[in-house]
Amino acid sequence: MNAKVKMKNEKMGGRRRTMQRLMWVVTVVAFAGAAMNVLEWRAGFAVWICTNSASAYYNWWIGEKALAVQFAAYIGLSIWGWIAWGK
C-alpha cells in the first residue's frame, strides 16, 4: 500500500469501515440475486443491477478504477439479462 492510500485510509477512518461493512451486505445480497437466477426469477437481475452499482461506486471511491469498470460491465450484462428474460 502506498503512502497516499495509507494516509487516505487513516483520514477516512470510520467512514471507510462503514463502507466496508456495507460492501459485505452488498456481497450477501448479490449471492441472493444469484440464487434467484438459479430459481429462474427475473428479479435476480434487478438485484444484480443494484449490487453491481454499489460495487462499482465503492471501487471507484477507493481508487480501484479497473474494478469499477469491471462492475460497470456487469451492470450492462445484468440489464441485458433482465431484457432477455423479459421476452
pLDDT digits over 7-65, tens only? 666 666 778 888 889 999 999 999 999 999 999 999 999 999 999 999 999 999 989 99
46 and 38 Cβ atoms separated by less than 8 Å: no
Rounded to two decimals, what is the model's pTM? 0.77
Three-state DSSP class for residue 87: coil
Q: What would the grid cell of residue 26 be?
A: 452488498
* Residue 57, in any domain of the structure: yes
Q: What would the grid cell of residue 59 be?
A: 471501487
Q: Report the pLDDT value the prediction gives residue 8, as an integer from 0 to 100.
A: 64
The parent domain of residue 79 ranges over: 40-87
* Residue 61, in any domain of the structure: yes
Three-state DSSP class for residue 77: helix
Name the burial class of residue 51, with classes exposed (0-12), middle (13-18) and buried (19+) by CB atoms within 10 angstroms of its CB.
buried
* Residue 62, in any domain of the structure: yes
- Work out how many domains the chain is built from and give that number: 1
Does 75 have pLDDT greater than 70? yes
